[in-house]
Structure 1
């Protein structure tokens, strides 16, 4: 499908049922990161499961010269994608950045989904107002002009890519690392392999959504909400707990043995929690 002429890639596992489960990956990830969770779903799960490659990620299109990536763009992507894929019921599952996009879209479309499960949804990142000019200056330094090669770190082969993934996440098994490496890389402009996201994502976002504004979006959500996090996530702490305390969560759980990348670390436990959440809503 396309949004404003930009092609978006989806991956589908169709159990034939009336509930569409739309899986939304996080920053610099790919839609197929959810494959391990889908494979762990019970045999009798009949959901129509769809995973999206966000714009500038995986096999979806890049914005091209002069463009940039803003959360408003992700909300617009959700507007189009949900219309295209939903059946009778729609459940959103967003990881990290994907969870933030879910909050923005559902804040504007309070009845847009029947349920939403936030996986390592971290809430707004507080930023003092006085820091905004400095962020804008950093963004200008990075993007005017933008040098994509500055952000590339080519890898020799898939084995090299898998080793990098395991260096970033020691919980990742060799088998999962190898599969992720195959999904998340592409041929680099100068040879070797590079990650298949637009290097523009690596630059500093110039105007992040203020915490007070984000709170109004979340306050507008009307569908049942759940939250799953990793017990070993580096983001666990008082600030996250305070944000979660303000949400009407029907499910709130930390999964043992998982860090931030819950879907890669404990896919069986996450699949079970997803089934439990959907059964309750």
Structure 2
């Protein structure tokens, strides 16, 4: 697949217009790509371009609410995980074909795990890219986060979180700070997609700055892992050997996936799909090839 074969699409979910980038190979397997926090669907482009020749999947990369070209919540609204789950449920119903495979990074993997824990029949397979699950949070931390959220949002002043950039080079430099291993040409292309010019002539990321506030009520760790254990489809968990999120605690979490297999890609960090798209594409193709052709045969 190549950029020339992609097109833009919009679907409505929960009163918001959601944007998707679609690469349609004409097949009956829909692969729904879900990005992480402050990212956008176009982040998956290098991976899709690296898929084996002849791949016929119907690929769609979603922009979450308040990210990319998807609508932001109206004044007074917020971005809770339950909202993302509900959006995913509606978007998937509208775009899927015979089989649905979900490929999700970081925050997107968290949302996908909540959805497939609650709706285990909804997908044929799940790929969790650096899916970490919720953090361990003490009761005192819940109180602190609620206080912080109120300080940031009652009232909410978006100017507090405004981080304009002078030009595209400035945006690329910021992107490289977050993803230091992404090649320069790929970083520049992604920065072009991920920014918009404001009335003052300066660039800003396409996400709603409200996302930069502290979410008030994290999902409890025990509840998050219960969702993981209720996922019945095969799960491929993919991480990078250079990711800062490694260790025995994460290994124990991954072991809770009933049908999970784990793979770490050498030389990749947290953004595996941008650090090593070719290796990630090879893993993804092999995983989907291993899934049942008929969803009813699971």
Deviates more, 1:186-195 or 1:19-28: 186-195
Residue pair 1:251, 1:277 contacting (<8 A) in 2 also: no
- List alignment gaps of at least 5 residues for structure 2: 1-10, 292-298
Q: Which of 173, 186, 193 pairs up with 2:203?
A: 193
* In the alignment, structure 1 residue 240 sits paired with structure 2 residue 250: yes
1:20-99 paired onto structure 2 within 5 Å: 20-99=30-109
Counterpart for residue 169 of structure 1: 179
Q: Which of 131, 134, 142 pairs up with 1:132?
A: 142
Deviation at 1:170, TM superposition (A): 1.8
Counterpart for residue 219 of structure 2: 209
Residue pair 1:227, 1:249 contacting (<8 A) in 2 also: no
Deviation at 1:76, TM superposition (A): 0.6
Counterpart for residue 154 of structure 1: 164
Aligned length: 281
Deviation at 1:274, TM superposition (A): 0.3
Deviation at 1:107, TM superposition (A): 1.1
Deviation at 1:242, TM superposition (A): 1.5
Q: Distance in 1 between matches of 2:109 and 2:244?
A: 17
Q: Which of 267, 271, 274 pairs up with 2:281?
A: 271
State the TM-score, normalized to the length of structure 1. 0.98
Q: Distance in 2 between matches of 1:255 and 1:189?
A: 42
What secondary structure does 1:8 align onto?
A: strand
Q: Distance in 2 between matches of 1:128 and 1:250?
A: 28
Deviation at 1:169, TM superposition (A): 2.1
* In the alignment, structure 1 residue 13 sits paired with structure 2 residue 23: yes
* In the alignment, structure 1 residue 111 sits paired with structure 2 residue 121: yes
Please tell me the root mean square deviation across aligned C-alpha atoms, in Å. Answer: 1.0
Q: Distance in 2 between matches of 1:152 and 1:263?
A: 28
Counterpart for residue 294 of structure 2: none
Deviation at 1:250, TM superposition (A): 4.2
Residue pair 1:185, 1:194 contacting (<8 A) in 2 also: yes
1:212-231 paired onto structure 2 within 5 Å: 212-231=222-241
What secondary structure does 2:46 align onto?
A: helix
Detail structure 1 runs of 4+ shifted over 3 Å in the superposition.
Answer: none
Q: Distance in 2 between matches of 1:186 and 1:255?
A: 33
State the TM-score, normalized to the length of structure 2. 0.92
Residue pair 1:227, 1:252 contacting (<8 A) in 2 also: yes
Q: Distance in 1 between matches of 2:135 and 2:232?
A: 23
Deviation at 1:261, TM superposition (A): 0.6
Deviation at 1:4, TM superposition (A): 2.2
Q: Distance in 2 between matches of 1:273 and 1:234?
A: 21
Deviation at 1:37, TM superposition (A): 0.2
Q: Distance in 2 between matches of 1:54 and 1:175?
A: 25
- List alignment gaps of at least 5 residues for structure 1: none
